[in-house]
Amino acid sequence: MNKETNLTLDIEALQKIAGYGHWIPALKGFHRSYLATNYPGWDWNQIIPQLIREKIVHVNSVSATHQRLANGLSISIEIESITLTISEHGIRATVRKSHSKARR
């Protein structure tokens, strides 16, 4: 039987999670308690590093087409939410884009 686990995160949720990417909360383990409380069963390394590997979240981008998350991380202004899915084949991200945001 194939069991999948999904997690959908909007931009506000990604900003909060990215805020724990600074070395002080990471060393003190604050990210673990935040994720355990808000996203039980999920780990930091299943979220932000996965999104960076898939080139959905960018590090130190200065692109005008990106919005800031936190701690040097950014994401396209067109992205409305991300759904992460864990299956027996690994983790994959599905992007939901907003077509109403105009580029400037």
Per the structure, the count of domains in the chain is: 1
Distance of CA 67 to the CA centre of its chain: 13
In a domain, 11, yes or no: yes
**Pairing state of beta strands 5-10 and 90-97?**
unpaired
pTM: 0.85
**Pairing state of beta strands 66-70 and 90-97?**
unpaired
Q: What is the tens place of the pLDDT at every residue in 47-63?
A: 999 999 999 999 999 89
Per-residue DSSP letters for 21-82? GSHHHHHHTHHHHHHHHHSTT--HHHHHHHHHHTTSEEES---TTEEEEETTEEEETTEEEE
> By residue range, what is the domain housing residue 18?
5-97
In a domain, 102, yes or no: no
Q: What is the tens place of the pLDDT at every residue in 19-41?
A: 998 888 788 888 899 999 999 99
